[in-house]
Amino acid sequence: MAQIGTCFALGMVGLKGHLIKVEAHHTQGLPAFALVGLPDASLRESRSRVEAAIASTGLRWEPTRLTVNLSPAELPKTGSGFDLPIALAVVASRVATVQKQCEGMVFCGELGLDGRIYRVRGILPLVLAARRAGFKKVMVATEAVPEASLIEGIEIVGVSHLVEALHYLGMRKMKERVEQLKKLKNTVAPSSVPVMPASEPPDLQEVKGAFLARKALEIAAAGGHHLSLIGVPGAGKTMLASCLPGILPPLADEEALEVTSIHSLAGTFAPSQGLIRRPPFIAPHHSATLPALIGGGSGIATPGAISLAHRGVLFLDEAPEFQTRSLDALRQPLETSKITVHRSRAVTSYPAAFQLVIAANPCPCGMWGQAEGECKCTPYQRVRYLARLSGPLMDRIDLQCQVGRPKIADLTATDSPESSSAVRERVLQARERARKRWKDQLISLNARIPSRILKFALDSATKDRLNHLVGSGRISMRGADRICRVAWTIADLNGRDKPIGEDFGLAYSLRTSNGTY
């Protein structure tokens, strides 16, 4: 009879999987169940679930002192996905056959008191981490098999009950219990919540007027630039932002795997839809807290809205209504394309390469500067309202566009505006030009061109003009770089090898809402 049983699980810290060795040791003494290795609250509760689940299989042993260790001990462990490996390690400590079969496998699943095995969040990144660690098999709950099977090159074993897992691992006496289970109806996991598939983005054909805003949206999509839309209520700012995912190119395989892993970890992924191929569109309410926006929570931080928007669009409607500290927390991710959350128990990093789109009214009532309506706000209220969008944050937004209310002629026009598919075709061509140009620098988007190579193809007149704008204080050094990046994107959309003065003029006007360049 084995005295120590071992099997392997994976602990997730952010999107990085760490191999966890689960060891169970029983010895003579007062009956007890000790769980060590920095477990969190949900993991400490697994002692009761494991004891009840093992008893439900019909296994009976003399009470002993049982110690379960999760190694490495200094790494925090979280979640109920350790239930299954703990239970199997306990059985393996007494049954040598199970111990032998556990070798070379990774286990993940939550146990019910009756021994049923339920899926947990983050199955996709867990299986991906197991494959990278060199494992050939992963055992998960049956309902998690569709999600786990999205990862190729590794065998997925699905089980719905602990007796099925033990029978698979060599305990032939469980065969009769397995046959009994097959006659029972499957039950749904208590924690299972149906996830609605992502809806289709609206088509740009539905947007009437707003010609400059449509052009800014196309430039943003082609170069990966951030965009702000400021205008009166009903001008179509939300509709324009919602159209952006429809003109973005689909995600490549590696990008889709990364994005899907984040949504799997957050519990917002529907496995029946396959890998997420369309860039996500995340629009948190303005009451969202700082942890909800950037990620957080007790223990190991969970992904926030900016990570869920990775490779896609983060849309902040009514942006001045967000907490100022939440908006300013976006400044670092906008530069680094990742977010690092520090907690006392762990430091967690998530990717956050999103396109930021913000929408705002010109004042609290929304009518400032409009001929057809009277603004009821005081000058102080108007200044204070948009001042919530700090200068350093706005300096990081490449395109700042004013959106006017559509005219009657635009609404009654018989000609249909361009569709999203037509605009997307130009976006794809522009991105391909940028990819070929910057391939030696391993860059695919103009928005990510390093400052050191931005101005290599600029003529002396353009350089002098940009230096004058910086010297006069009209734009910052960061603003000059972002104008250059937008100008490169405009040139790509127009099929030019490098930007000309006209491209810089449009880039400057779209950044400052000022036509004078």
pLDDT over threshold 50, residue 515: no
Burial code of 66-93, b = ≥16 C-beta within 10 A, e = fewer?
bbbbbeeeebbbbbbbbbbbbbbbbbbb
Rounded Cα distance, 351 and 307, in Å: 6
Task: Inform me whether the pLDDT recorded for 263 exceeds 90.
Answer: yes
Looking at residue 226, its pLDDT comes to: 96
- How far is residue 239's CA from residue 159's CA, in Å, rounded to a whole number? 45
Q: Is the pLDDT of residue 328 over 60?
A: yes
For residue 250, the one-letter residue type is P
Nearest to 44 by CA among 76, 14, 5: 76
pLDDT over 80 at 170, yes or no: yes
**At 197, is the pLDDT very low, low, confident or very high (cuts 50, 70, 90)?**
low
Q: Which domains does the chain have, with CATH numbers?
A: 4-182 (3.30.230.10), 204-427 (3.40.50.300), 449-517 (no CATH)
Amino acid identity for residue 444 in this structure: S
In sequence order, which residues have a C-beta less than 8 Å from that of residue 93 and are 6 or more positions away?
2, 3, 4, 5, 24, 25, 26, 99
pLDDT at 411: 66
Give residue-wise pLDDT tens across range 10-59.
Answer: 998 888 889 999 999 988 888 889 999 989 888 999 999 999 999 999 88
Span 197-203, mean pLDDT?
Answer: 78
CA distances from 444 to 392, 437, 491 (A): 26, 9, 15
> Mean pLDDT for the chain?
88
- Per the CB < 8 A criterion, the answer to whether 400 and 511 are in contact is yes
- Asked if 135 contacts 96 with a C-beta cutoff of 8 angstroms, the reply is no
**Angle of the 211-223 helix axis to the 501-512 helix axis, nearest 10:** 110
